Chain A
């Protein structure tokens, strides 16, 4: 297996607060890896570092063998490193359909066509219709996202990430805030992801984690606590202590 994403010694401190310290990991084609850890462990920060939203204090990130540590977030996206946001981050006045059109056009670098009609770009309508259908968003295709239910916004977040045809996909709590009836749809979509895609998913729901992941990484206070197969992690007493302990505190 070729390593698609290699992270080495990644560190970040905000002022004095060490939110990521010396984190290393690799993700290969076809991997299904879960990143877990208590609230405030630094999971989202780790995603922000890897995707280039914030610069690291130390460490390197390689994508498909290429050092991307100094590339911008957009450049990493163009190389196939795509993430979804923990809190849905969408364009409030655009419709669901416009979001997907924009993502597909952007992916194909067709956004500098000043005089083309979006409605007539070849192949676009079909691809968007398929994305809408796969997430059950067809009935709300023409609804502005600002008036969409939160669960549906989450579905759109994922559809948007998929529209980019990623090589490495990072999902930050894709099911958070989604009603149970709709979270099944998200799981189904994740199950149907292309097999050779490398997926890293942050998730609190352990049922979901065990169903999805072949390997698990545990983060606590910005440090990599341990990593291993789902079985190993489930049996690890340290994980129970740190993870479950602070989970009960947090709620």
Chain B
């Protein structure tokens, strides 16, 4: 007993405080950097604006997944339920009543948030595999509802004819996709700012606690489930906005936007970039969709295998995702975890 204590005492003298101040100082650069990279891509790759637009909207979706999984520890394969619901809500609004892009985003976010709030309250008492199954089930139900409600959603043909009005009444959605891309990039940047704010709020701190040890949260008087439900709902709003953004910029919504494979793909992109880091969502999405695009264009037959190898390589050599590799290079790692 004493020897353990003495050893620990010495270890205590050796621990050094993490360079938190420095990390914080560099941390804020991330968002301006992403905005700058996005604008640079706009000038450098004018032929690929459609792809870049999809990347921006998808990154916002993956960001919502990072809040749920990376900060809340909620295992989910049903995040697309919120994305698809937001996309359909925005599309239905535009086709029938109001095609203002901001109104579409607002309605999409509201729809995604409400769905997440209701389903989250129902399923978030479960954990692990049970929860995973429940999130998949919610996704299936939403997809089936969208399939059956043909009159509203177009069923398996998809919802088309979405023609959003000019942004702020000034910027038309042109056929070359300039407005679409800049609009998507702006929404993504706002999404990042909001997510970063939430992560650093008292609420974000509590959610980190819940994801690590829910019982310890009860022991300081918190209710783990209510944190998770609110987090799930907030992420649902962001996923819904991402879905609406896709509806605005692509003009169509298909059944696959609510589907299992879209949820799973988002998970792959997130793990690729790095969970629990926000920027990881953007970098993972850009890397995955970029590599996908290049490979599929050059080798339409074997690109899937290459994507697989790429993923295995990242997971083996950079278990924390691409962002963790960048952090390691920059010496910006968080305080070392799990010393004892």
Contact = CB atoms under 8 A, between A and B. Distances in A.
A115 B223 CA distance: 20
A228 interface: no
Given A140-B17, A179-B5, A179-B6, A164 B221 contact: yes
Contacts of A181: 9
Residue of A90, A106, A110 with most partner-chain B CB within 10 A: A106
B176 interface: no
A95 B338 contact: no
Contacts of B218: 72-74, 77
Contacts of B1: 177
A148 B12 contact: yes
Contacts of B201: 113-118
A139 interface: yes
A142 B216 CA distance: 20
Given A78-B221, A89-B213, A92-B212, A144 B334 contact: yes
Interface stretch (A22-30, A36-44, A149-157, A195-203): A149-157
Contacts of B205: 94, 98, 101-102, 105, 111, 118
Contacts of A114: 197-198, 201, 203-204, 230, 234
Interface in A73-132: 73-74, 77-78, 83, 85, 89-95, 98, 101-103, 105-107, 110-119, 121
Contacts of A77: 218-221
A141 B20 CA distance: 10
B213 A74 contact: no
B203 A111 contact: yes
Contacts of A150: 4-5, 8, 340
Contacts of A103: 220
B337 A146 contact: yes
Contacts of B220: 77, 102-103, 106-107, 160, 164
B5 A139 contact: no
A93 B334 contact: yes
B206 A111 contact: yes
A110 B202 contact: yes
Interface residues of A, number: 55
Interface centre among B202, B213, B340 (most CB of A within 10 A): B202
B140 to A, nearest CB: 30
A146 B340 contact: yes
B216 A89 contact: yes
A147 interface: yes
B230 A112 contact: yes
A192 interface: no
B335 A106 contact: no
Interface in B4-19: 4-6, 8-13, 15-18
B209 interface: yes
A92 B216 CA distance: 12
Given A113-B202, A113-B203, A179-B9, A83 B219 contact: yes
B8 A73 contact: no
Contact of B213 (A91, A151, A177): A91
Contacts of A106: 206, 217, 220-222
B198 A74 contact: no
Contacts of A107: 220-221
B178 interface: no
5 contacts: A93-B208, A114-B204, A146-B339, A149-B10, A164-B220
Give 9 closest A-B pairs by Cβ, nearest first. Answer: A149-B12, A144-B335, A147-B339, A77-B221, A179-B9, A179-B5, A150-B8, A111-B206, A142-B20
